[in-house]
Amino acid sequence: MSNNNIQIFDTTLRDGEQVPGCKLNTDQKVVIAEQLDALGVDVIEAGFPVSSPGDFKSVEAISKIVKNATVCGLTRSVENDIKVAAEALKYAVKPRIHTGIGTSESHIVHKFKTTQEDILERAYAAVKYAKSFVEDVEFYAEDAGRTDNEYLARVCEAAIKAGATVLNIPDTTGYCLPSEYGAKIKYLKENVKGIEKAILSCHCHNDLGLATANSIEGVINGARQIECTINGIGERAGNTALEEVVMVLKQHPYLKLDTNINTSMLYGMSQLVSDSMGIYTQPNKAIVGANAFAHSSGIHQDGVIKNRETYEIIDPKDVGVTESAIVLTARSGRAALAYRAKNVGYELTKLQLDDVYANFLSFADKKKEINDNDIHQIIETSNVYQQIISA
């Protein structure tokens, strides 16, 4: 792995599956895991094995079929969780245990009702115990986003001493600003003793719509793993969207940060997850939404027809979308109508277009969107139809 390679840790099947109203069965999870492996993710977080027999079974089944990616299971800093996760992961070619504990004052005081020193000891002990089963142990400091940096650095040091290979710095509540989250990663890079033995990981939630921006700031400041989900699904407002961070890095090559993702599979992957979970993807969702490459205003359509790059920064084929869509509505202009008419077989002269366009506008005022059948009807009922077909 080059120092500029960003590891993509997919948690669609764990944090993503925590989305209300969603439950996947083991077969569905296995299909998604196979596709994630083909997509090129580096780590698949397959579940939280101690949480239910179903989750255990899914992690075990995924461990058996994944060929390339590391397969990871979540635990709390509890011995039995770790033992059960190790059991579920025993068939994985590359197993990872992901263990951790809350480190913010709010978690220490209200959730654990204990002290900072006790949390440090529990963190150390959990990593040490996980190391007795697998080599690859990731430690998460839950609510790191609201944890004081000095104390967070001490927790990270303890986890490294116990053998952690990855340190996950979750912005669990999606609270941080990008500059704050970036500064936190930088602080840890510069102040944690032994940091060269582990990589830092960004795990950002989207409560303020900043998950993608925070993850990108994290890697700019030295983190080398991003934890994310397909379509950004997850608890509350969701997690960082995999397709977004991957495309941000691809579209900004001067950052010199790349991933192993085959981006042409992104759209298909998004559809698979949305169909399996029964969770509809908003049309304006970046990269994979139905409107991400659709143009409906006349000015934009005219530009895109002349040169796609006037209004598109991504080639749709790069993410597995066949082509940009020119959507015909009452807001469309002559260029868009001529383009769509040509696609269904009519080459219109300028004068013919003027006449057909007037007919189009009266249709479009009655209908939200004009489809190919409507175009035939518009042309057939125009004054110049005989002229067009005899040309």
Q: Is 235 helix (H, G, I), strand (E, B) or coil?
A: coil
| Nearer of residues 11 and 301 to Zn ion, judged by Cβ | 11
Q: From the list 56, 140, 267, 346, which residue makes contact with ligand KIV (rule: CB under 6 A)? A: 140
168 binds, among ligand KIV, Zn ion, none (CB under 5 to 8 A by kind): ligand KIV
DSSP assignment of 126-155, as one string? HHHHHHTT-SEEEEEEETGGGS-HHHHHHH
- 143 forms part of the interface with Zn ion (CB under 5 A): no
Q: How many CB atoms lie within 10 A of CB 154?
A: 20
Q: Which of ligand KIV, Zn ion, none does residue 76 bind (CB under 5 to 8 Å by kind)?
A: none
Under the criterion CB under 6 A, does residue 168 sit at the interface with ligand KIV?
yes
355 binds ligand KIV (CB under 6 A): no
> Does 203 contact ligand KIV by CB under 6 A?
yes
* Distance (Å) of CA 216 to CA 37, 183, 240: 23, 12, 10
Footprint of Zn ion on residues 164-223 (CB under 5 A)? none
Whether 119 contacts 103, CB under 8 Å: yes
96 binds ligand KIV (CB under 6 A): no
d(CA 322, CA 318): 9
Nearest to ligand KIV of 103, 301 (CB atom): 103
Q: Does the protein bind ligand KIV through residue 142 (CB under 6 A)?
A: yes
**Sign of the C-alpha dihedral computed for residues 147, 153, 155 and 159 taken in this order:** positive
Contact between 181 and ligand KIV per CB under 6 A: no
- 232 contacts: CB under 8 Å, gap ≥ 6: 206, 211, 212, 238, 239, 240, 241, 242, 244, 285
- If one asks whether residue 221 binds ligand KIV (CB under 6 A), the answer comes out as no
140 binds, among ligand KIV, Zn ion, none (CB under 5 to 8 A by kind): ligand KIV
User: 11-30 mask for Zn ion (x: CB under 5 A)?
Assistant: ----x---------------
| Shortest Å distance, C-beta 15 to ligand KIV | 5
Q: Could you give the CA distance from residue 37 to residue 41 in angstroms, rounded to a whole number?
A: 6
Tell me if residue 389 falls in helix, strand or coil: helix
- Residue closer to Zn ion (CB basis): 176 or 328: 176
The reply to whether 172 sits near ligand KIV by the rule CB under 6 A is: yes
CB 47 within 8 A of CB 73: yes
Q: In the bound complex, what is the minimum distance in angstroms from residue 98's beta carbon to Zn ion?
A: 11
Q: For binding to Zn ion (CB under 5 A), which residues are involved?
A: 15
Q: For binding to ligand KIV (CB under 6 A), which residues are involved?
A: 15, 140, 142, 168, 170, 172, 203, 205
